[in-house]
Structure 1
Amino acid sequence: MTAEPLATAVVTSLVRDATAAPSMHNAQPWRFRYDAGRGTIRLYGDPERAMPSSDPQGRALHLGCGAALFNLRVAAAHAGRAPDAVLLPDADEPWLLAEVRLDRPVRRDDDLAALHPAIHRRHTSRFPFTDEDVPSGVLDGLRAAARLEGARLHIPGAWHVDEVLHLVHDAESRESLDPEAREELLRWTGTPGGASAGEGIPVHAFGPRQHDVTAPVRDFAAGRALAGRGSATFEKRPRLALLGTPHDGPLDWLRAGQALERVLLQATLDGLVTSLTSQALEWRELRWALRDPVSSMGHVQMVIRLGYGPEGPATPRRDVEDVLETA
């Protein structure tokens, strides 16, 4: 059965939900095109929001767009439409990342809509987490969420966490000495000369400066003092999860982005707070060392810090009119 074409207000709402997804430095590297005649929404990567120094292959761009695609799927299911998504549908259009058909009613057994309440509750928290353990049943649920999208979620042991933290600190040092990487960071943050309203990471979302750098939380102040920004002691033993895929191409990155957002939304519903760490992934010579050599994970796509603590503040989003075109 074919459903009626979507009203303009519904399409706007779907895209607004999609753009609540996380992306590297909140650059929001996506564009959408709605074709009422075909009942589809196309998702495009936006090369003007790429980061050639920190993300030369566009891996992080694809992850962010994949996360937005997953939110679109959840929002569509919540609106009663079955989101039939095809990844990389046209080899002649490399920036066309996905096409989602929305001309059928959602199936009764579709569980995506249950995640919808978390879309606008999920925010990155760059604040200290408590020492409370995350129950094994909750972790199992997050692992299952990743598998549903074709990815794996690995919970590293103590020695592996120490190695991940070492690699993150190594990446921080490398970034501080790389003028191009620092320039990209400043472009998308709330420091002087940074991003404009509606994009990037504002100062209020930086979180406090760490007394002792024990948690993998990126310092977007880039070592500069900011008025009104305090400091805090973070958890000594951060709880980390590694999201990965067997292979490492654009298709895998889009799948990983969807898996990432499913994990984050499920974690939000479970009462967890999260932050993402990509610094060590931005250096080819460090990224390979992140994975556990005895695990079956081929390529780490994201490091997730999770636990219990204060929710992070919302970061800005561009107006839907700026990212949505209607055919």
Structure 2
Amino acid sequence: MRTTALDAATLEKLVSAAIAAPSIHNTQPWRFRLDPLTTTVEVRAATERALRTTDPLARALHLSVGAAVFNLRVAVAHFGWEPVPRLLPDPAEPGLLASVRLAGPVPGDRSPGGPDEHHPAHRPPHRPELYDVLWRRHSSRLPFSDRPLPADVLAELTEAAHAEGARLTLPDALATERLMELTAEAERRSVGDPARRQESRRWIREGAPDGMPGRVLGPQDVTGRVPLRDFSALRPEHYRPAVAFERNPVIAVLSTAHDRRADWLRAGQALEHVLLVATAHGARTSLLHQALEWPDLRWVLRDPRDRMEHVQMLIRLGYGPDGPASPRRPAAQVTDEARGTAAT
């Protein structure tokens, strides 16, 4: 579908697609602005939404913005342009995390996006359905079944991460148990840390266009095998009886070779690419980030035997109920006035 111009309605659709991406605690830490002279959508960090205690280096913020950038690329391609992304395009403006220029028509053999200009990578097959999928993707904090994911699906998820300059690995049962033990240790620390509890509690809210309402929080695993974040410890009114989760959780490890800001943004794009492909195949996903919030635990998540480099996210995969979606702010609330536009 090729539009003739980037009008206000199309820009709103592009931004709405971008903000359908996941973000830590659904903080939605992004802002968008159009540069009409170059037909470029700029993506900035909304630093007032940062989790300064949980995420002091803003690594998770960069992952969140990277996920939004990938959705933006998919939407730009859907509307007929070739998305040309750049990461950290202006060293003089560190808050400008990325930009996506709307170039000529999308070639028939290109992916919905493709890698950023400064990081050539393998381009996956064109998947136009990802635009439809991004509106349906959301985390499920409910139990999954023990039905295994087919090998070809797992291979496609691995390829999706690789296309964005990241690596996705699937540890064996023993390594997965170790990852879950580290996640459980991180969860115990976070629940016992007053500053982190207070910060997280602020984002559990009802009737707001951001944060997490009680309906999305989910129960805990009665066996403790799958240590999801225990928001009921922060808001006891949202407590749900513990239930049995899958016996053999499937955990994918998303990692990058380096650990710089650009790598975090690439990891965010890889994360969303993986999540969308999983959703396209009918799989459910949830994110286990707790151990990444403690530097010592994040370090020991690495497994040199499996070439786990700098771990950026643990992704739980499986089949099960869809679960409710988290709210999103309207596009108008996250879109700044176009550059060069006179104030009225």
Query: TM-score, normalized by length of structure 2?
Result: 0.90
Give the whole-Å Cα distance in 2 for the aligned partners of 1:224 and 1:145: 36
1:70-113 CA-to-partner distances (Å, cap 9, x unmatched) read: 00000010110111011100111111011111142222222323
Give the whole-Å Cα distance in 2 for the aligned partners of 1:19 and 1:265: 14
Q: Map of 1:198-237 to 2, 5 A cutoff?
A: 198-222=209-233, 224-226=235-237, 229-237=240-248
Deviation of 1:293 (Å): 1.8
Contact 2:88–2:262 (Cα < 8 Å) also in 1 = yes
1:130 counterpart residue number: 145
Deviation of 1:223 (Å): 5.8
Count the aligned residue pairs.
321
Instruction: Specify the SS of the correspondent of 2:53.
Output: coil
2:59 counterpart residue number: 59
Q: Map of 1:35-54 to 2, 5 A cutoff?
A: 35-54=35-54
Deviation of 1:227 (Å): 5.7
Is 1:140–2:155 an aligned residue pair? yes
Deviation of 1:148 (Å): 0.2
Is 1:178–2:189 an aligned residue pair? no
Equivalent of 1:161 in 173, 176, 201: 176
Give the whole-Å Cα distance in 2 for the aligned partners of 1:244 and 1:250: 14
1:88 counterpart residue number: 88
Give the whole-Å Cα distance in 1 for the aligned partners of 2:68 and 2:196: 25
Deviation of 1:143 (Å): 0.4
Is 1:245–2:245 an aligned residue pair? no
Give the whole-Å Cα distance in 2 for the aligned partners of 1:232 and 1:43: 40
Q: CA 1:227–1:221 in structure 2 vs 1: closer, same or farther (change >3 Å)?
A: closer
Deviation of 1:117 (Å): 1.4
Is 1:321–2:332 an aligned residue pair? yes
1:20 counterpart residue number: 20
Instruction: Specify the SS of the correspondent of 1:226.
Output: helix
Q: Map of 1:251-290 to 2, 5 A cutoff?
A: 251-290=262-301
Query: TM-score, normalized by length of structure 1?
Result: 0.95
Give the whole-Å Cα distance in 2 for the aligned partners of 1:227 and 1:199: 17
Letter in 1 for 2:190: E
Contact 2:161–2:167 (Cα < 8 Å) also in 1 = yes
Is 1:116–2:131 an aligned residue pair? yes
Gaps of 5+ in 1: none
Contact 2:42–2:99 (Cα < 8 Å) also in 1 = yes
Give the whole-Å Cα distance in 2 for the aligned partners of 1:324 and 1:54: 26
Letter in 1 for 2:204: T
1:29-65 CA-to-partner distances (Å, cap 9, x unmatched) read: 0000012222010000111011111101000000000
Deviation of 1:290 (Å): 1.0
1:8 counterpart residue number: 8
Give the whole-Å Cα distance in 2 for the aligned partners of 1:122 and 1:165: 24
Instruction: Specify the SS of the correspondent of 1:41.
Output: strand
1:163-190 CA-to-partner distances (Å, cap 9, x unmatched) read: 1111011101111221111011101113
1:193-231 CA-to-partner distances (Å, cap 9, x unmatched) read: xx7600011100011233222213212122653368343
Identify which range, 107-116 or 95-104, moves more after superposition: 107-116
Contact 1:25–1:200 (Cα < 8 Å) also in 2 = yes
Gaps of 5+ in 2: 113-127, 339-344
- What is the aligned-residue RMSD (CA, Å)? 1.5
Contact 1:243–1:260 (Cα < 8 Å) also in 2 = yes
Deviation of 1:4 (Å): 4.8
Give the whole-Å Cα distance in 1 for the aligned partners of 2:88 and 2:192: 36
Equivalent of 2:314 in 303, 315, 320: 303
Contact 1:35–1:326 (Cα < 8 Å) also in 2 = no
Deviation of 1:115 (Å): 1.3
Give the whole-Å Cα distance in 2 for the aligned partners of 1:267 and 1:291: 24
